[in-house]
Amino acid sequence: MDENLCGHFAARLRLAGLRVEELHQHLPRGTKDTEWLPYVGSQGWVAVTLDLFRDDPEEQLALMMHRVPVFVLVGRATQDARADVFIRKRKWIRRLLESRTDPFMVRISAVTGQHTLVSFDDLLNRYARRRR
């Protein structure tokens, strides 16, 4: 779990029975995304963050190269609301993780719970369009 969700959010997930690793327990606070993503990938973990990874090709490349499934919680919400949405979607999240072997990013609205999946191919296509 990225440091921007540590603390109360992580505690709520633990209370719901989820196994949670907080990055600051393994890496210094402030570690760049391009550095913690390879670590998370090497551990076989799933990343949960508020970071959008929208405009930084280096972060997107790190996500894909290190095969990290990432769940991004988007929208203005309290840590409780974010945790509630994530906990409500945990069965769907488990099924998704079991059904895919490729890296991906899912944006989940912390307000509505709606989600959008971005695959490795989607990111490659975006990158190719930007390079034109």
pLDDT in tens, 13-53: 999 999 998 888 899 988 888 898 899 999 999 999 888 77
| β-sheet bridge partners, residue 107 | 72, 116
Side-chain-side CA neighbours of 120 within 13 Å: the count stands at 13
For the CA atoms of 110, 116, 118, 119, the dihedral, rounded to the nearest 10 degrees, stands at: 120
Q: What pLDDT was estimated at residue 127?
A: 67
Question: What is the 8-class DSSP label of residue 3?
Answer: G
Assign 54 a pLDDT band (cuts: 50, 70, 90). low
CA atoms of 19 and 111, how far apart (whole Å): 23
Q: What pLDDT was estimated at residue 74?
A: 92
